[in-house]
Amino acid sequence: MSVTQGGRRLPRPRQFFNPRQTAAIYEDPATGWREGVPHLAWLWLLLFGGFYLAARMVWRPMIFMAIVILISLLIFGLFALVVMIGFWILASTQAQRIFREHYLRKGWYEIDPWEQDEHGTHGLM
């Protein structure tokens, strides 16, 4: 069977996120796939920085962080350590905004964690 022929589409398991642990939910309108952003995203970003962004496939802010750190290394030398720590803390405080902008830029819908429907349609059908 070739890629263009397609095939039987298997039902996708329903995704439900615990509203007490999830700050925001984003849904891809084309596939219905949902991604949740935890309340503790700031902590994960503080602990793991760009590695957490790479694991979540949020490439633009990760590349921006790497460029700022590299430029500060080239310009400030040893003082770059202070700049890197400050930038790392600043980025972690903006974690929810970083994820929100990332998913909305991709055209995903934001869903209220307390008002999830069990069908994954976000009221579109």
How far is residue 104's CA from residue 110's CA, in Å, rounded to a whole number?
A: 8
pTM over 0.75: no
What is the band of 123 on the pLDDT scale with cuts at 50, 70, 90?
A: very low
Four-CA torsion 38, 42, 48, 50, nearest 10 degrees = 100
Give the model confidence (pLDDT) of 75-100 as tens digits. Answer: 888 777 887 888 889 888 999 999 99
